[in-house]
């Protein structure tokens, strides 16, 4: 599904150039559960951003279903992200002025889906993540674990083929982390989505099919 071929990513110019990725090549198959691990600054998040079309490679190619992301304009990239990908972030990025249901259905509102249809789908997903009773709450009223469940529901509402999760348990205590991990893998099993998870959590990585280890911008294992 997703292939990187000799990808380099640099920031800055001339003597201030920083090479975040250095010749990375890898493939991720449909339905896989992939963990990406490495020390802070190793290039993990940069790799995820390139895989998800959130950033562009300096050189090399990133292909999704045979299409090179480097050949797509911003509108086509935005459509790809909105149709194929779901995103879960450590900071949740929920809108504090919106209700839980409105946060979950926001991607569908951007698509122009009717309020009736998006609320119907949103309520089904809130039931899946165990938050049916919170749909009218504001995001600021929730615990960290509940916020992450809302973020998971929001990622899934577009029925994505791939879910990218950047440190999804980074802000959670151990018990809540376990609940979120179990939820992610249960949803993977039921929906057969591809999971790409950037994480420092070795227990979470151990439950994935493969772990990609990044060091100094290179895949070392």
Query: Edge-to-edge strand order for the sheet containing 18-28?
Result: 18-28, 2-11, 59-64, 67-68
Can you tell me the distance from the alpha carbon of 89 to that of 109, in angstroms, rounded to the nearest whole number? 20
The band of 46, judged by pLDDT with boundaries at 50, 70 and 90, is: very high
Within 10 Å of residue 10's Cβ, how many Cβ atoms? Answer: 15
Q: Give a yes or no: residue 130 inside a domain.
A: yes
Listed in sequence order, the residues at least 6 apart from 66 whose beta carbon sits closer than 8 Å to its beta carbon are none
Which residue range forms the structural domain that includes residue 37? 33-41+74-219
Q: What is the pLDDT of residue 15?
A: 79
Q: Give a yes or no: residue 137 inside a domain.
A: yes
127: domain CATH number?
3.40.50.300
Can you tell me the distance from the alpha carbon of 97 to that of 102, in angstroms, rounded to the nearest whole number? 9
Can you tell me the distance from the alpha carbon of 89 to that of 100, in angstroms, rounded to the nearest whole number? 16
Q: Are the C-beta atoms of 98 and 139 separated by less than 8 Å? A: yes
Q: Give a yes or no: residue 52 inside a domain.
A: no
Q: Give a yes or no: residue 172 inside a domain.
A: yes
pLDDT greater than 80 at residue 18: yes
Q: Give a yes or no: residue 177 inside a domain.
A: yes
Q: What is the pLDDT of residue 182?
A: 87
pLDDT greater than 90 at residue 177: no
Q: Give a yes or no: residue 50 inside a domain.
A: no
> φ and ψ at 208, to 5 degrees?
-85, 165
Span 84-121, pLDDT tens digits: 899 888 788 899 889 999 999 998 988 889 999 999 99
Give ∠ CA 84-166-125 in degrees, rounded to 5.
55
Average pLDDT over every residue of 136-164: 90
Q: Give a yes or no: residue 198 inside a domain.
A: yes
Q: Give a yes or no: residue 3 inside a domain.
A: no
Taken as a whole, the chain contains a residue count of 221
The Cα-based distances of 86 to 1, 34, 108, 143, 194 in angstroms read 15, 15, 12, 22, 10
The band of 14, judged by pLDDT with boundaries at 50, 70 and 90, is: confident
C-alpha 189 chain-centroid distance: 17
Residue of higher predicted confidence among 21 and 192: 21
pLDDT greater than 80 at residue 20: yes
| Number of domains, the chain | 1
């Amino acid at each position: 599904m997703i292939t990187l071929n000799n990808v380099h990513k640099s920031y800055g110019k001339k003597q201030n150039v920083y090479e975040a990725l250095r010749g990375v090549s890898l493939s991720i198959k449909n339905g896989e559960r992939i963990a990406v691990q490495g020390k802070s600054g190793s290039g993990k998040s940069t790799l995820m951003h390139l895989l998800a079309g959130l950033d562009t490679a300096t050189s090399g190619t990133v292909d999704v279903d045979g299409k090179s992301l480097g050949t797509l304009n911003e509108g086509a990239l935005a459509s790809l992200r909105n149709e194929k990908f779901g995103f879960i972030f450590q900071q949740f990025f929920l809108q504090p002025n919106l209700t839980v249901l409105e946060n979950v259905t926001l991607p569908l509102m951007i698509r122009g889906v009717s309020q009736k249809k998006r609320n119907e789908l949103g309520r089904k997903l809130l039931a899946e993540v165990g938050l049916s009773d919170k749909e009218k709450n504001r995001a600021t009223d929730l615990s960290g674990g509940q916020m992450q469940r809302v973020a998971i529901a929001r990622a899934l509402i577009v029925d994505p083929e791939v879910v990218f999760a950047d440190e999804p348990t980074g802000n959670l205590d151990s018990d809540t982390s376990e609940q979120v991990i179990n939820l992610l893998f249960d949803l993977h099993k039921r929906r057969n989505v591809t999971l790409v998870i950037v994480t420092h959590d070795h227990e979470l990585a151990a439950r994935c099919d493969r772990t990609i280890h990044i060091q100094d911008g290179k895949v070392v294992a």
